Structure 1
Amino acid sequence: MAQSAIEIKSEIGPLKRVLLHRPGGELENLMPEYLERLLFDDIPYLKIAQEEHDAFCGLLRDNGVEVVYLTDLVSESLTDGAVKEQFVLEYIGEAGVRGDKRTAMIADHFLSMSTHNMVSAMMAGLRKAQVHGYGRKNLTDYLEDDYPFVLDPIPNLYFTRDPFAAMGNGVTIHRMHTVTRRRETLFAQYIFAYHPQYKGTPVYYDRAAPASIEGGDILVLSPQVVAIGISQRTQPWAIEQLAKRLLSPQVGFTKVLAFDIPKNRAFMHLDTVFTMVDRDKFTMHPGISSHLRLFVLELEEGAHLSITEEEDSLENILKEHLNLDSVTLLKCGGNSVIDAAREQWNDGSNTFCLAPGRVVAYSRNHVTNRVMEEAGIEVLTIPSSELSRGRGGPRCMTMPLVRGSI
């Protein structure tokens, strides 16, 4: 039987295929004075970041995983000339460019390249110095004369977890919380509309929706249960709309757990609060409250959404809703306040599961890695001196497309 394009029914099923983005020129377009605008705290050194990312990719392949790259999938979706031109014009419009002449100038710049080079260049952003004949054409140009970019870079792309999410046999294409990340989901839109392998994939949420949702807030805990964080970047309305689709008989999930988590950057997404590393084992943020507020969404007869509020410990919530006899929570940094703060800053609890009890983690988080190993988890480590500067871990950098059953 042919393998489905999308098949995700758990966080821990044996990984078969995964989407990555190798960091590119977008990191070399980061500038200190514009870091906050682009959601970065530091500037990774691209050469080393690529070496670290290649090591990650190599580890996945050595473990029998098919790795596909975002740039390749987008390029393979733009084989039709009209679709390619439409994509470029839509991208330019979403970047905030105004005026027919300016739009045409930038479009000509991109369309003169090979498709693969064009996609990489669009991800990297566009400096004014790169566009021949670029000058002050309108009032905006005069007011932003010191700003060096025609189009901002998209440096968060190597965190492929967020722009869309795979669950069941379909995907959600997201409306990102911040303006600077919204163009990221345009790449996903074209993949699932035009790629020969992925077009026709059911889409459960649309990027044009009015409420934001991001992939780091979505965890597929079992073939029946999806957890979603009500977070700084995922809004309640989006969760309700998505739940109606996921809980339909056509999709097959029976329960959505909406976790109300703190609305700040330390708890940016649900996968910084906890990640699943085995059937009954989870890493966890050391600062999470002993009692969490939870909303259980289920579909009643007549397709009405029922919402039940609960408040309990993370351990009890997971035991009850995943039908587990016991749950082991593995604290990032163990029981040391200092180690926990340092390793949580470097995403110690943001692990990525290759199979039940087998995870990838940053080597620098040695205290958390030891905690996992002592609990019987096999930890495969990757270097991260530069990748970690983007404030995301191995789970953030991956979007699983196919996992086997447990």
Structure 2
Amino acid sequence: MEISRRGLMGGVAAGAALAAAPSFAQTGASRFLSSDIGALKTVLVHSIVPQDDGFDRLSENAVPGLESDMEVATEQQAGLIRLLKAQGAQTIEVADALAGAIAATRRSGIFETWLRTAFPGLGLDADRVTAATILGRDPAIRNRLRDDGDYRHYADTTLSTMWTRDSAFMAPAGLVMCRSASGRRRRENMLLRFCYAHSPLLKDYPIAFDALSEGISIEGGDAMFVRPDLLLLGTGNRTDPRMGPLLAKRLDCDVLTVQTYSQDFIRPDRPGLEFPVQQLRVLLLHLDTYFTQVAPGHALCVPWLLEQAHAETNPLSRFVRGARTQGMIDPEDAEKSLEMLKEFGRVKLWKRGSGTPEDLGEMKLVDYLRTQGWKFTFVGGASPEGDQAVFAHFMATVYPELRRQAANVVQARPGRVIAYAGNPMTKAALEKDGLIVDTFPARELWAWHGGPHCLTQPLLRA
């Protein structure tokens, strides 16, 4: 779980850095993808390296954390890149796009203006700054001492940039630039906006909506086009609920919001800030941690939690009530957890163009999509009969595989998905439903609460 504070935008300088960006109005509507499935042609990724385990000024830790094996994590992520390429996708690396944007803007002064705003610690020596410097990979700035003999901090870790889905996502008519509530992750938003504005590698992708300029939080893991005219949007946890009607107006599509956690707006993260039911909200962090589209009218998702019939009888609620009764968890946190689970997955439809709401009653996501003829494969496979068997199945199989990001998959070719290894029951269920599942080892990656869907930012699908 990230710990961070409100970031500063520096509107004038950021506006100058965007001066050359093609606008949605200038380019007109272009079809980049029609949904979250289809043959993946071009995808933005950020390959990590072992040196990405650096320190961050927004952290409160006395010393840098070293919980992960970065050598192993680097090789595991490389397994995803190999699968994407083997299935015909062109991968664009953030580091390469950033280098291209710097080269294109250095002489004009746009780069220096942007650098002073987005990365002020590096702005005093802009002529020497490269993509590696900004990404914290330049040996000249790593682990340096000042003249007085103490540590000098130059650049923050950019490890979380590997979750490229969160910084932006592609809509049928162009890119939606996101805005994280986390000060740390908002640097990624600014970095990617600079790249899309100026990098030759990304020049063909116009920005259709800029959440940074709007000042409302959204993360791409919560957004999923399942049809050209229907966007699913997880809200309340990392994405502001006010985004639903706003995107319905700006993107001219219906927006089905899916409640993760109930709150009116997303407050900025700050160091040391604790959230209500924090562990449960991390488990169900984004829409794509509990639901992804795998084929036309077919989704992979967590069982029970997304159906109104199980709003209070789902296995997690049974566990929380029992643990509260036996004094195993804090009573107040237990009550908030039960409130969250009761409302979790509730949907509201915002109409395209007007952004007016359509009352769907108490339906949850699976309930609504069933009315549209959808098919579902559930994490952990088919459910047994009887309350005791269901509970045991959830705790022993569904919950561990959900934690290992079993619901978080990405499609590169129709009829097959890329998933983490280590979730055999979910893999077997997908195969039984007619899908080919390509897996790669990811023990270090799933521990960071993201999956293959999070690690990819599709730009173009056939």
| TM-score with structure 2 setting the length | 0.71
Greater shift, 181-190 or 17-26, is seen at 17-26
Structure 1 residues 21, 66: closer, same or farther in 2, change over 3 A?
Answer: same
* Identical residues among aligned pairs (%): 23
Match of 1:14 in 2: 39
Tell me by how many angstroms 1:83 deviates: 6.4
Taking the aligned partners of 1:354 and 1:225, their CA distance within structure 2 comes to 21
Show the 5 A alignment for 1:197-208: 198-199=202-203, 201-208=206-213
CA contact (8 A) 2:246 2:355 kept: no
| Structure 1 residue identity aligned to 2:455 | M
Show the 5 A alignment for 1:365-384: 365-384=423-442
Taking the aligned partners of 1:84 and 1:36, their CA distance within structure 2 comes to 39
Show the 5 A alignment for 1:5-404: 7-24=32-49, 27-29=52-54, 34=59, 43-82=67-106, 86-95=110-119, 97=121, 103-104=123-124, 107-108=125-126, 111-112=127-128, 118-124=130-136, 130=142, 134=146, 149-196=153-200, 198-199=202-203, 201-247=206-252, 253=253, 255-262=254-261, 264-286=281-303, 288-291=305-308, 292-299=345-352, 303-310=353-360, 311-320=362-371, 323-324=372-373, 326-332=374-380, 335=383, 336=393, 337-404=395-462
| Structure 1 residue identity aligned to 2:284 | F
Taking the aligned partners of 2:143 and 2:116, their CA distance within structure 1 comes to 14
CA contact (8 A) 2:409 2:418 kept: yes
CA contact (8 A) 1:274 1:350 kept: yes
Secondary structure, in 3 states, of the residue corresponding to 2:377? strand
Structure 1 residues 203, 60: closer, same or farther in 2, change over 3 A?
Answer: same
Structure 1 residues 36, 272: closer, same or farther in 2, change over 3 A?
Answer: farther
Greater shift, 286-295 or 260-269, is seen at 286-295
Greater shift, 189-198 or 270-279, is seen at 189-198
Tell me by how many angstroms 1:271 deviates: 0.9
Structure 2 spans left out of the alignment, 5+ residues:
1-28, 263-280, 309-344, 384-392
Taking the aligned partners of 1:312 and 1:6, their CA distance within structure 2 comes to 31
| Structure 1 residue identity aligned to 2:417 | V
Structure 1 residues 6, 75: closer, same or farther in 2, change over 3 A?
Answer: farther
Taking the aligned partners of 2:106 and 2:207, their CA distance within structure 1 comes to 24
Taking the aligned partners of 1:265 and 1:175, their CA distance within structure 2 comes to 19
Secondary structure, in 3 states, of the residue corresponding to 1:17? strand
Match of 1:142 in 2: none
Secondary structure, in 3 states, of the residue corresponding to 2:166? coil
| Structure 2 residue identity aligned to 1:87 | F
Taking the aligned partners of 2:96 and 2:220, their CA distance within structure 1 comes to 21
| Structure 1 residue identity aligned to 2:367 | N
The Cα offsets for residues 237-258 of structure 1, whole Å up to 9 and x where unpaired, read as: 23322221111xxxxx3x1111
Greater shift, 126-135 or 261-270, is seen at 126-135
Structure 1 residues 36, 341: closer, same or farther in 2, change over 3 A?
Answer: farther
CA contact (8 A) 2:105 2:111 kept: no
- Report which of the two has the higher share of strand: 1
Secondary structure, in 3 states, of the residue corresponding to 2:231? strand
Equivalent pairs, count: 367
Structure 1 spans left out of the alignment, 5+ residues:
137-144, 248-252
The Cα offsets for residues 74-111 of structure 1, whole Å up to 9 and x where unpaired, read as: 211222354685435534533565xxxx851xx35xx3
Structure 1 residues 347, 148: closer, same or farther in 2, change over 3 A?
Answer: farther
Match of 1:250 in 2: none
Taking the aligned partners of 2:152 and 2:382, their CA distance within structure 1 comes to 45
Taking the aligned partners of 2:415 and 2:446, their CA distance within structure 1 comes to 23
Taking the aligned partners of 1:230 and 1:338, their CA distance within structure 2 comes to 28
Root mean square deviation, CA, Å: 3.2
The Cα offsets for residues 33-75 of structure 1, whole Å up to 9 and x where unpaired, read as: 95989xx997332222222222211111111111111111121
Runs of 4 or more consecutive aligned structure 1 residues displaced over 6 Å after TM superposition: 125-129, 145-148
Tell me by how many angstroms 1:17 deviates: 1.2
CA contact (8 A) 1:41 1:389 kept: no
Greater shift, 199-208 or 80-89, is seen at 80-89
Structure 1 residues 96, 334: closer, same or farther in 2, change over 3 A?
Answer: farther
Taking the aligned partners of 1:271 and 1:27, their CA distance within structure 2 comes to 25
Secondary structure, in 3 states, of the residue corresponding to 2:437? strand
CA contact (8 A) 1:205 1:242 kept: no
CA contact (8 A) 2:222 2:239 kept: yes
| Structure 2 residue identity aligned to 1:167 | A
Taking the aligned partners of 2:432 and 2:258, their CA distance within structure 1 comes to 28
CA contact (8 A) 1:231 1:269 kept: no
| Structure 2 residue identity aligned to 1:304 | S
The Cα offsets for residues 169-197 of structure 1, whole Å up to 9 and x where unpaired, read as: 30111111111101101222122211235
| Structure 1 residue identity aligned to 2:118 | E
Taking the aligned partners of 1:179 and 1:18, their CA distance within structure 2 comes to 25
Taking the aligned partners of 1:148 and 1:390, their CA distance within structure 2 comes to 28
